[in-house]
Structure 1
Amino acid sequence: MQKRQEPLGRGVLYRVYQRRLRNSLNPETLPRHVAMIIDGNRRWARQLGYDSPAEGHRAGAAKMREFLEWCDDLGISVVTLYLLSADNLTQRAPDELADLIEIIAELADELSRYRDWRIQQVGSKKDLPEPLIAALDAAEARSAGKSGLHVNLAVGYGGRTEITDAMRSIVADHHAHGGSLEDLAETLTPELIGAHLYTGGQPDPDLVIRTSGEQRLSDFMLWQSAHSEFYFVEALGPNLRPVDFLRALRDFATRQRRFGG
């Protein structure tokens, strides 16, 4: 028998605390780009007695729309959501993967029709099924002219693959223009590599958040997160609350960013 989750954070004291946290934030200290590793969906489903992990993935997807609203309302410019890794495509059970692909396609469609958000897939399409590719392409096309929150959907994403693809793109461009290996060695810089990443032209994430208490990157934005701040939340993905996010922002504002220094 499936159990229902009790609403979290609905009391008067909670709302007062949440309002106080939000009012304490200085807009000038907020991150421009927040990257989110949504984790713990399957554990959430198991804990609540669901028969299928799909229920957890659906709850996680719904939470990600809420999360984007929180970011948008605070004036954050870019958010990257880690929804499906390249490893997931080979390591998840076929039934779970099929459900997850359907959920992501639905989420991309929904987000592309919501507010003034611009949707972009970051990742490789190489091993994605055609229906998901079509849904992601349609979401990008539908939202291409929008100027609001820029939402990166990391789907079929792997950080190592991204860097490899960037290098291949650089070499191919250089070869197409008749350049030599010596010339390439002279022109190859971190800035050039960054421009050829899936997120080329975007600011690197200032803050990377991961839910479920796990403290690892899982091949996520390896290049871009070189100088990011990290914040780990104990809550499982679908249980993430506004106060959890506000605490992350409050903590971020107190850190002295050294950028490698």
Structure 2
Amino acid sequence: MIKRVRSWWNGADKQETLTISEDNIPQHVAIIMDGNGRWAKRLGLPRIAGHQNGMKAVKRATIAADELGIKYLTMYAFSTENWTRPKEEVDFLMRLPQEFLAIELDELIEKNVRIRMMGHEEHLPSHTVNALREAIRLTEHNTGLVLNFAMNYGSRREMTECVKDIALQVQSGELAVEDITPELIDKHMLTADMPDPDLLIRTSGELRLSNFMLWQLAYSELWFTDIYWPEFGKQHLLEAVAEYQRRSRRYGGLK
């Protein structure tokens, strides 16, 4: 499968051909959508304009992932640390899921996309929770791409809750300490019914994981780009997948 995309480097308009193998498509791609505020600042716009345009990038990435045959797409939409941002910005971010789904849900349903959420509902406004729950309900029988929003999500909290759950089972006698294995821990994570990400993408030039899926990303391939999230398009996803396919995944062994 050959995709022709346009890429821009150093202000020069270049065209290249990317060859994507249909036999080596990452099953699960996770994305840290970073740079909305800096994109807006560069253009002299308020930060919320960056988040608004970032919503459009979510749709572009979802459609591109579906066309490629990716089965799971996890978007880091709002972290447990994002509550420290100014209230006006947080309030706006809390309205985005409702706005996004009101505009895009019908098309996502047509494309057989299944919506799900990974995170904790407490502290989320009722309008945010209700919009996500309704989207999850309306798409629960879809069998295509799973679009997983990490909302009010933090990996350290996820792992802490996992440890507590297992400790209670040991305390009650349901489990012995010897029963605790990586496979058992997997079953207690919020991604228990999903494969670990094969590929992590982070935009805006930042080179860190920011408390995102720390357990699940143990052997994921990482791809970083200087592109701000509102600029992210199909060609960037293709570039990330092409780079993924050039790598050899050895999982600590030799090939």
TM-score by length of 2: 0.88
- State the SS of the aligned residue for 1:155: strand
Q: Which of the two has greater strand per residue?
A: 2
Q: Confirm or deny that 1:130 pairs with 2:129.
A: no
Match of 1:74 in 2: 68
Q: Displacement, 1:45?
A: 0.8
Question: Is the 8 Å Cα contact of residues 78 and 151 (structure 2) preserved in structure 1?
Answer: yes
Q: Confirm or deny that 1:63 pairs with 2:54.
A: no
2:20 to 25, 49, 74: 25
- State the SS of the aligned residue for 1:154: strand
Question: Is the 8 Å Cα contact of residues 109 and 139 (structure 1) preserved in structure 2?
Answer: no
Match of 1:46 in 2: 41
Match of 1:225 in 2: 217
Supply the AA of the counterpart residue of 1:165: E
Distance in 2 of aligned mates of 1:130 and 1:232: 34
Distance 1:14 1:33, change over 3 A: farther
Deviations 1:88-116 (A, max 9, x none): 02x11000000111012322454543121
- What residue ranges of structure 1 are gaps of 5+ in the alignment? 1-7
Match of 1:198 in 2: 190
Question: Is the 8 Å Cα contact of residues 83 and 104 (structure 1) preserved in structure 2?
Answer: no
Match of 2:3 in 1: none
Q: Confirm or deny that 1:105 pairs with 2:98.
A: yes
Deviations 1:14-41 (A, max 9, x none): 7963xx21xx110111100000000000
Distance in 2 of aligned mates of 1:99 and 1:231: 29
2:240 to 245, 248, 256: 248
Distance in 2 of aligned mates of 1:14 and 1:116: 35
1:36 to 13, 31, 38: 31
Deviations 1:179-206 (A, max 9, x none): 16xx431111111111111111211000
Q: Displacement, 1:236?
A: 0.5
Question: Is the 8 Å Cα contact of residues 112 and 143 (structure 1) preserved in structure 2?
Answer: no
Supply the AA of the counterpart residue of 2:30: A
What is the count of residue pairs matched by the alignment? 242
Distance 1:112 1:193, change over 3 A: farther
Distance in 2 of aligned mates of 1:49 and 1:257: 42
Deviations 1:110-139 (A, max 9, x none): 454312111111011122222211111111
- State the SS of the aligned residue for 2:176: helix
Taking only the aligned residue pairs, the percentage that are identical comes to 36
Match of 1:144 in 2: 140
Match of 1:118 in 2: 114
Match of 1:211 in 2: 203
Question: Is the 8 Å Cα contact of residues 170 and 177 (structure 2) preserved in structure 1?
Answer: no
Question: Is the 8 Å Cα contact of residues 198 and 219 (structure 2) preserved in structure 1?
Answer: yes
Supply the AA of the counterpart residue of 1:128: L
Q: Displacement, 1:78?
A: 0.4
Supply the AA of the counterpart residue of 2:138: R
Q: Which of the two has greater helix per residue?
A: 1
Question: Is the 8 Å Cα contact of residues 86 and 156 (structure 1) preserved in structure 2?
Answer: yes
Distance in 2 of aligned mates of 1:121 and 1:111: 16
2:87 to 81, 94, 112: 94
For 1:159-178, list aligned pairs within 5 A.
159-173=155-169, 178=172
Supply the AA of the counterpart residue of 1:72: D
Supply the AA of the counterpart residue of 2:53: A
TM-score by length of 1: 0.86
* Structure 1 vs Structure 2 CA RMSD: 2.1
Distance in 2 of aligned mates of 1:59 and 1:166: 35
